[in-house]
Amino acid sequence: MAVTSTRVSSKPLIEKRSIDYIPEVERHGRLLSQFTLWMGANLQITAIVTGALAVVLGGDVFWSLIGLLIGQVLGGGVMALHAAQGPKLGLPQMISSRVQFGVYGAAIPIVLVCLMYLGFTATGTVLSGQALGQLFGVSDSVGILIFASVIVLVTVLGYRVIHFIGRVASVIGVIAFVYLFARLISQTDVGALLQIRHFSWSSFLLAVSLAASWQIAFGPYVADYSRYLPSETSSVKTFFAAGAGSVIGAQVAMILGVFAAASANGQFAGHEVAYIVGLGGTGATAALLYFSIAFGKVTISTLNSYGSFMCIATIISGFRGHLNVTRLQRLVFVLVIVGAATLIALLGQHSFLGAFKSFILFLLAFFTPWSAINLVDYYCITRERYDVPALNDPNGRYGRWNALGISVYVFGVLVQLPFIATKFYTGPLVKAMGGVDISWIIGLVVPAALYYVLAKKWHSAVPDQLILPIEQDTVDAQPSRAGRIQAV
């Protein structure tokens, strides 16, 4: 492709873009980087704990593993469909929600996404603080502060450094997990654990929900990391690269968590990091494992902090118009975000496990309807035909508030309430269903079907083809494309 030769060969260490459209000349990266990034993001301690919850909360090993795998595939498919949008649009994920919600209205789901990032950053910081505390012989609170400092640095540096750390984390994670699995198998009768089978719908669907929620929660920011890929990158290949890395990484981590919790005799909860490291040994080996745990959390915690920054910038730009974020402003945003997450981590570190389970399940009520609406609109209604310049214009094609998208979203949240079962809230129909939480299924299917029917009839005008901001270098290199590129 002619544009390839005009792409910049020298890429700055510190990312200069924030929520901007990524011009073709700045596109770089390979599909392998998507696989390694998402594998590295999932081969980490929080995924281990998530898998362990399936057993800690009453499931057996055999059915928990099957339920987790089903949840990974279902949730990973949703996540990967969002990833495929990145190369085509060249935009962060949440700014494209302005098509469905309006330039101002998109702030509604984005605010909730920010809360999600805050929660996941805080919970990851708790576990990393435990690891660093053991590694350096300091308190968990000091470990939390050390970890937070690292996250600030990496988040400020941005996209290229995040991908580099993702590649390194994948290698370290694979080595650590292979070693831990070998140690676990040598110390535990895995066959005997697999023979204990007492199926119950509530425990099985809990395992499915834990894995599905884990994957779906990546949806609001997965395209942030695929948007730098060249626009001609295959959507199918992007889907499989990001989806496979995430599903494989998470399932491997959760399998380890299931076996660890099943063999722990009640010693896992409250001592998650210490127990996992204890499987591997003591002394230098333990130190290396503590390091691998902390380093593994760097990737995903940075993704959460980076995503929070992108979301805040998107909200501000929606109401103020196009926003150019300076490096100083970026630093301030990141300090506020990580500071808030660190405070939550310090206050909630001693009641982590129960709060985390309730948190990730409750999140589904707010993100499955958004995901359903975004995907149905992109793949079935507009069919990738976005007017990218209009996303910054409240008086343009998408308007300030999109009543259709907002109404279906609110309905999608409300329709789940009778089926939710968490410590925060339990719906009236949960008991009648044997304690099974099926809210996330309702939250995906009902809004998707409703939005499809209504948008087919009342959707605003859709462009004949994808309209991108003008790129002078691209136009010079490919005159034939000039007719379908519109200036901002």
The reported pLDDT for the residue numbered 352 is: 58
The reported pLDDT for the residue numbered 153 is: 82
- The two tokens of residue 35 are 């696989």
Whether 157 and 13 have beta carbons less than 8 Å apart is answered as yes
Over residues 162-182, the mean pLDDT reads 81
Over residues 30-56, the mean pLDDT reads 86
The reported pLDDT for the residue numbered 427 is: 87
Domain assignment present for 427? no
Domain assignment present for 40? yes
Q: How far is CA 319 from CA 148, 316, 394, in A?
A: 30, 6, 8
> Band of the pLDDT at 250, cuts 50, 70, 90?
very high
The reported pLDDT for the residue numbered 378 is: 94
* Residue 141 pLDDT exceeds 70: yes
Q: State the Cα–Cα distance between residues 448 and 408, nearest whole angstrom.
A: 9
For residue 322, the domain's CATH number is 1.10.4160.10
Q: Would you say how long the chain is, in residues? A: 488
For 271-303, write each residue's pLDDT tens digit.
Answer: 677 778 777 777 788 888 888 877 777 777 777
Domain assignment present for 386? no
> Band of the pLDDT at 487, cuts 50, 70, 90?
very low
Q: State the Cα–Cα distance between residues 390 and 47, nearest whole angstrom.
A: 39
Over residues 400-410, the mean pLDDT reads 94
Between residues 460 and 221, the one the model is more confident about:
221
Q: Residue 273 belongs to what domain range? A: 21-362
The reported pLDDT for the residue numbered 191 is: 83
* Residue 353 pLDDT exceeds 60: no
Give, as one character, the DSSP assignment of residue 467.
Answer: B
Over residues 115-144, the mean pLDDT reads 81
* Residue 85 pLDDT exceeds 90: yes
- The two tokens of residue 165 are 């750390």
Q: How far is CA 338 from CA 84, 92, 107, 120, 323, in A?
A: 28, 20, 21, 11, 22
Q: State the Cα–Cα distance between residues 338 and 68, nearest whole angstrom.
A: 30
Helices (H), 263-282: 272-280
What is the three-class DSSP state of 92?
A: coil
Domain assignment present for 358? yes
Give the rounded distance of the alpha carbon of 449 from its chain centre: 24
> Band of the pLDDT at 182, cuts 50, 70, 90?
confident
- The two tokens of residue 64 are 């928990």
- Which residues lie below 8 Å from residue 8, measured CB to CB, with a gap of 6+? 25, 26, 28
Domain assignment present for 12? no
> Band of the pLDDT at 43, cuts 50, 70, 90?
confident
Domain assignment present for 422? no
For 460-478, write each residue's pLDDT tens digit.
Answer: 778 888 888 875 444 444 4
Lowest mean pLDDT among 41-55, 134-148, 243-257, 293-307: 293-307
Question: How many domains in the chain?
Answer: 1
Between residues 470 and 88, the one the model is more confident about:
88
* Residue 371 pLDDT exceeds 70: yes
Give the rounded distance of the alpha carbon of 443 from its chain centre: 18
Whether 307 and 224 have beta carbons less than 8 Å apart is answered as yes
- The two tokens of residue 197 are 């089978």
Over residues 96-120, the mean pLDDT reads 85
* Residue 248 pLDDT exceeds 90: yes
Domain assignment present for 207? yes
pTM: 0.81
Residue 458, judged by CB atoms within 10 A of its CB (0-12, 13-18, 19+), counts as exposed
At 435, give phi and psi (nearest 5°).
Answer: 80, 5
- Which residues lie below 8 Å from residue 464, measured CB to CB, with a gap of 6+? 385
* Residue 481 pLDDT exceeds 50: no
Whether 177 and 43 have beta carbons less than 8 Å apart is answered as yes
